[in-house]
Chain A
Amino acid sequence: MVEIGHIAIIASFLVTMYSTFVGFAGGMLNGRDLASSARWGFYSVVPLLLVATMCLIYAFVTNDFSVKYVAENSNLAMPKAYAWVAFYSGNAGSLLYIALAFSVMGSLAIKVINVKLPYTAPYALGVMSLVLIFFLGVIVFLANPLDRLPVAPEDGQGINPLLIHFGMFIHPPFQMLGLISVAIPFSVAIGTLLSGRGGRDEWVDQGRLWGMISWLLLTAGLLLGSWWAYTILGWGGYWAWDPVENSALMPWLAMTAFVHSIMVQKRRGMFRMWNMLLIITSFAMAQLGMFINRGGPVPSVHSFAESTMGWIFLAIMAITLFCSLATFIFRYDTLKSRGTLESFISREAAFLAQNVLFLLIAFVTLWGTVFPIFSEAVDETTMTIGQPFFNKVNGPLMLLLIFMMGVGPLLPWRKATWRSAIRMLKGPLLLGISFIVISIIAGIREPWAVFAFGTCALALGGILQEWIRGTRSRYSRGESVPRAFIRLISANRPRYGGYVVHISIVMLGIGIVASSFYDVQRDVVMAPGDVETLGKYTFKYVGVDKEFFPDRVKEVAQFEVWSGDTYVGNMFPNRSFYPEFRIAATRGAIRSTPWEDFYLVPSEFREDGQAVFRVLINPMVWWMWASGPILVLGTILSLSPNRRIVRKLSLTDLSSGRGNISGVYTPLGAGD
């Protein structure tokens, strides 16, 4: 079975090389058969990598410890369901997963791009194949997960205990897919430049589509990662500005800037160079993320796969960046904007300001992340930059971003007068100020928190104002309120989908602000029967149960918890010690409500029966996790094409002499 996987990997490497050369040749020679052959070659990588993946998973399921990767990442005690997690828990397996995921996503992209951009597609395919060649090359020559050991051990080393968690089934796949998926809009952009196009915004629709998909995957990866950290790492937080976290955040920031900025190019033919640079930056940051993930020199508490391979990723990142910028400079002349910025009171100006903010945050994060490398190079001491730096610098920038998120969508394209701008911002501004006053009255004294709640209210107010006014406008035409609301959204899906995403970001912002400024934490030493209080919560430590498993000893504490006078039930935080790894994995017990989370986590169980617990009250964290599904819904809504409000006038038909346009134009609102 393993040998079949080997053959499949080598075959996929060879056919990807073929697709690269023949794809570029097809583009340059305008050879449609060549391009078609290259495309089908790329498609055929999917079944080959699927076979290789199945072989590896089969080796995990059958405990084939003669396979080095299986012996290193599983053991007899590992639940069989975790074969999937074990598959990408190590370096080599994760590379195979990335290659498989990218080949699937790339095939889908190429299928669509070949129809929409037939003359750019061969070049985009060539770029995608180059990206895939790199991963497959690393697998074939440096880190093959199907390599065998000379002598098979009787049992494996086991999977990292921290990965035995439901979240691991979804967080790493999303995170890795998110990072590599940036290569798709990047390939479309570079393919456009290589084909000598770009001056007519050909790639914009496809760039936006795949950029949004990539952004969604990155966002899902980040949220799931935070949720995993919150529930399993047992420190009561969800974000620590750790290098690995930052490495996922940076491309997300650049991609967020890109998905907004590309709208300006679509609408106005502006920001052509800027968008190219943004997507190049995004991909470079995604590559940097993979470098840091794979044993880069930056210390991280949870780099999931340590190796020296990071340097190869860094070298490839440098080469990609150099080649992309060289292509950009070479095609610079074709990227002159069609439109100009007519006014600073316009949506495109707001997008530009917001883009600058996103990039500022990304580069501050980058500087904070790579600073240890520079400090080591200069005076041979590794200095790390901690949470306070990031919070201090990025916090205000993020608040400004939320402010722009509230203001930007209310401004019209092209220009508006001050009078219009003031009128449309009046409502949201009033709401924001009201919230600031209410927050102060409610006893919130932290200036940043007060300002942050006010800004979130402003952003929310802008969206609600637009929904209310839009619904009222349709209602005045005789539609019922629910019908008017649904039709308003369905007739303008990209716009209102974006608003739904903005609502989820506001929810996220509220959760982050509340939990950052108003969390309460206490470490307590308790013996069975002891009662303690924190805030309005009273909790009684009942005792601990010890459970023995082949790979771990699990201690489950039992608590009875009251909120005020109300008994809310039992809570069971636990701690498992894995002697093989000398690692203890803690699981907090969390009572989550929209208002606050009551969080209990065991730190230590002592021989004398006493135990140390960390107890936290984290306000409004619930809103962060609730924002995830809303964000996905909003993105899907935003991506779903508008029902044709105005059917595209076939100008080509008109110019080719059909002449009579009667019936070609479909009335506005006809699709409603």
Chain B
Amino acid sequence: MVILIGILLCFVPGIAVIYPLWRKFSSMSPPPEDESSLEADLDRRWESAIDGLHSSELEYSVGNLSLEDYKELREVHMLEAAVVLKMFDLSGEDEKLLFDQINEELSKSSLLSELDSDRESNRCQENNA
């Protein structure tokens, strides 16, 4: 009985290792995308630039960043995004459309315009005082 169970136990890894070699299902499926390809790298850098934009927008909205710092950081991240896009060789029209969308959504999301106007009015009041 013990021998029989032992043999059955050995079948588990045996089947597990032989089956993929026998059926070759991995090599028959299309090769996966290489995580080190330029495209994958640019995807990561793109995501990082967008995260950076979002992060600076959040920092600004919670008051951790001054307007000047925010604008500078925003430019840096935009530049990084632009470099990534350049490397992808998109058409000028596509790039422009993309940046317009990002700008529009960022300003909506951070209420940049509202905050700017609030701060401007505060500054005016301070100056007047």
Contacts and interface: CB of A to CB of B under 8 A. Distances in A.
B82 interface: no
A119 B34 contact: yes
A18 interface: yes
Given A466-B62, A654-B88, A200 B46 contact: no
A79 interface: no
A362 interface: no
Contacts of A118: 32-35
Interface string A393-434: 000000000000000001111111101100110000000000
Contacts of B78: none
A40 B25 CA distance: 13
B103 to A, nearest CB: 11
Interface string A274-287: 00000000000000
A7 B10 contact: yes
B12 A41 contact: no
Contacts, number: 200
A659 B94 CA distance: 7
Contact of A48 (B13, B21, B41): B13
A473 B61 contact: yes
Interface in B31-75: 31-36, 39-48, 50-52, 54-59, 61-66, 68-69, 72-73
A201 interface: yes
Contacts of B65: 412, 416, 420
B66 A420 contact: yes
B94 A48 contact: no
A35 B43 CA distance: 26
Contact of A34 (B21, B59, B91): B21
Contact of A33 (B24, B32, B102): B24
A116 to B, nearest CB: 7
Interface residues of B, number: 70
Nearest to A334: B36
A7 B6 contact: yes
A37 B17 contact: yes
B116 interface: no
A420 B69 contact: yes
Contact of B36 (A202, A416, A651, A660): A202
Interface residues of A, number: 79
Contacts of B69: 412, 415-417, 420
A649 interface: yes
A117 B35 contact: yes
B123 to A, nearest CB: 14
B11 to A, nearest CB: 10
A202 B73 contact: no
B2 interface: yes
A668 B35 contact: no
B129 interface: no
Interface in A178-203: 197, 199-202
Given A33-B24, A200-B40, A659-B91, A43 B16 contact: yes
A470 interface: yes
A44 B69 CA distance: 55
A18 B84 CA distance: 42
Given A41-B16, A420-B65, A4 B2 contact: yes
A651 B46 contact: yes
B35 A11 contact: no
Contact of B17 (A15, A197, A413, A654): A15
Contact of A4 (B5, B12, B31): B5
Contacts of A31: 27
Contact of A412 (B32, B40, B56): B56
Q: Is the interface of B mostly helix, strand, loop or mixed?
A: helix
Interface in A478-511: 492, 495
A22 B9 CA distance: 21
Nearest to A39: B20
B109 to A, nearest CB: 4
Nearest to B67: A420
Given A40-B20, A420-B66, A648 B47 contact: yes
A116 B35 contact: yes
Contacts of A416: 64-66, 69
A655 B39 contact: yes
Contacts of A199: 36
Contact of B111 (A12, A39, A423, A473): A473
A651 to B, nearest CB: 5
A203 B118 CA distance: 43
B62 A654 contact: no
A423 B16 CA distance: 61
B17 A119 contact: no
A31 B20 CA distance: 11
Contact of A119 (B36, B52, B76, B88): B36
Given A8-B9, A420-B64, A477-B111, A44 B50 contact: no
Contacts of A116: 35
Contacts of A376: none
A264 to B, nearest CB: 11
A652 interface: yes
B36 to A, nearest CB: 5
B35 A120 contact: yes
A34, A40, A268, A659 pick with most chain B CB within 10 angstroms: A40
A387 interface: no
Interface string B67-107: 01100110010000000110011110010011001100110
Contacts of A411: 64
A546 interface: no
Contacts of B119: none
Contact of B50 (A12, A36, A469, A646): A646
**Which 10 A-B residue pairings sit nearest by Cβ, starting from the closest?**
A44-B16, A15-B13, A36-B20, A668-B109, A32-B26, A469-B62, A118-B32, A44-B13, A7-B6, A200-B41
Interface of A: 3-4, 7-8, 11-12, 14-15, 18-19, 22, 31-41, 43-45, 47-48, 51, 116-120, 197, 199-202, 266-269, 410-417, 419-420, 423-424, 466, 469-470, 473, 476-477, 492, 495, 645-646, 648-652, 654-655, 659-662, 665, 667-669
Given A202-B40, A668-B54, 17 more contacts: A7-B10, A11-B12, A37-B19, A119-B35, A200-B36, A200-B44, A267-B52, A268-B48, A412-B73, A420-B64, A469-B61, A651-B43, A652-B33, A655-B89, A655-B90, A661-B97, A665-B101
29 contacts: A7-B10, A11-B10, A22-B17, A31-B27, A32-B26, A33-B20, A33-B27, A36-B26, A39-B20, A40-B20, A44-B17, A45-B13, A48-B13, A116-B35, A119-B34, A200-B40, A415-B73, A420-B69, A423-B66, A470-B58, A473-B111, A476-B114, A492-B58, A495-B55, A651-B39, A651-B43, A661-B97, A662-B97, A669-B109
Interface of B: 2, 5-6, 9-10, 12-13, 16-21, 24-27, 31-36, 39-48, 50-52, 54-59, 61-66, 68-69, 72-73, 76, 84-85, 88-91, 94, 97-98, 101-102, 105-106, 108-109, 111, 114
